[in-house]
Structure 1
Amino acid sequence: MPTATIDPAVLEKWDQEYIWHPFTQMQQYQQEKPLIIERGEGSYLYDVYGNKYLDGVSSLWVTVHGHCHPRINRAIIRQLEKVAHSTLLGLSNVPAILLAQRLVQMAPAGLSKVFYSDSGATAVEIAIKMAYQYWQQQGNEPYRHKKKFLCLQLAYHGDTIGAVSVGGIDTFHRIFAPLLFETITAPAPYCYRCPWQQEQSNCRRECLQELEKIIQQHQHELAAMIMEPLVQGAAGLMVGIELVLDRTSKEPYPPEAQIGHRVILAARQKGLILRPLGHVLVLMPVLTMSIDELRQMLTITYESIAQVTGA
């Protein structure tokens, strides 16, 4: 049924009646007017009323080239006209081979095989199993004790059980603690809230020194260390703004203030979609955003924070 023929009010009713949204407080969601996206183009998303929004989180960090890119759309259509899906269990297919060959050419030396997965969380699960299996198949008994994983505090790797085990976002995962396997944690390079009370001007990289100590202490039982590529995204090195009551003391807002949620709702009214991680606003724009669109995103973010906090 084309959405153009469905009353937006009906879609809103069905959304709240039938969909359980991930990482969403559903009792609160039921009390708010849902934002329902109908289409996208470039850096923008459009809702069922025709309102336009800058996609400030790349639809959760996956839209690199913008929405509805004609070249990507054409490639998808061409492939669908041949075959939509074919397993890699004991057989192969043309696009899988061609993509793997190009990825290996682009990868650093030593990475010579491609194992496909369908999401970040399942990729983490696969990597955990590969690292564990590697040591178990070495043959020497000492190696078989290398079963634990070292991860960084405040890390986020996904929401399957293995990915949660090596994560560190208590707000999301505390309730699942009895289901998780034991890990070893190291401090995250979170400069804004440095555990050693250092500033960037006098930082001696204490977090790295602590990491080295932990690795040396547990090397006999470590299967691998896991960290997000290039940056520790969820721990604050992704583009983000931590909202605090006082800049000098860095006193956080109490959870019941829901400051992050209130700011992103204000931003929506101004035409920008953001995502809060508690009291931290995440900004991960479409990578093809123009300079003017980036300026607009930052202006709306600033205005929304000022509107909600009175700062």
Structure 2
Amino acid sequence: MYREIVFIAVVVCLTLFISNLDAMECRIVDEEGNPIYSANAGELVYFKSTYTYTKSKKMTWNLMVTLPTVDLKNYKTSMKHNGYFFHDASLENKSHLIPIAIPKDSFIEGKANFQYKLTSNGNCYVYLAITRDSESPTESTVTATAVSSSQIDLSWTACTDNEEVVGYKIYNSNGSHLRSLHGTSTYFDRLIPNTLYCYTITAYDGAGNESAHSNQACARTLPVDAIAPSIPLLTATTASSRRINLSWTASSDNVGVTGYIVYLGDGTYLASENGTSTYYEGLTPNTQYCWKVTAYDAARNESGFSNTACATSLP
């Protein structure tokens, strides 16, 4: 869930109208205008939480003068290459209120660096760096399962993080990134039959920290199925002058029987069936009819024809 921690700092610069830079003061005051910290030019101040500061070096405190607070109107935000947020403000001898919003899914609450630099024209520039989340998510455990000659399914345990796991990355055995996703399962299809494939998983958070690779999970796609189901045994039974019932024994297959195909006795295709029985009605009375059936599997391997079963409708 997205949350924000808002840090409020008021930075005041007071220039005495002389050329000596040491006479200019940059300092932080609270919302009531009470002075909290004053920094010399170039000094680094570490910010941990609201109004809590530690000094990076020993310094001499300058005289603090409370000035009226004026909301900051002109400042800019930019992203540096190291991932820190920086807020620049030209304070021009005024007091300004600087709100700093930190997305919880990108940064952890930690220390930030306030660095003050003074210029000869009396302006004070404030640089703020927020400490970035550097903790990686935990490692996952992945499982690979071949489900056909062209598909392998992957599943893995969910990872945890000090902030939040944003997603997962999948790599092949060569370390090449294959895809990124948010869930804990996926599949790869259109693979080569009877071939070994290996994968690893990493988790990553909002700050871009990536976990260590999971175990390497391997699976071999199944060989191409070239084995046809067994031949069924067909029976035809007269039910009336216009109806004949058909039934046949179930076939077996090395993978699994998908269905059956019914033909006329001369080999003309009639219909495909999922079960082991059917019927034909609307027939001509006192007439002989003949059928035969085959079984087929998911690879479309079809068995040989069953026996030809004949029956005569009643007069």
Return the structure number with greater helix share. 1
Q: Same fold (TM over 0.5)?
A: no
Return the structure number with greater strand share. 2
More relative contact order, 1 or 2 (CA 8 Å, 6+ apart)? 1
With the length of structure 2 as denominator, give the TM-score of the two structures: 0.17
Larger Rg: 2
With the length of structure 1 as denominator, give the TM-score of the two structures: 0.17
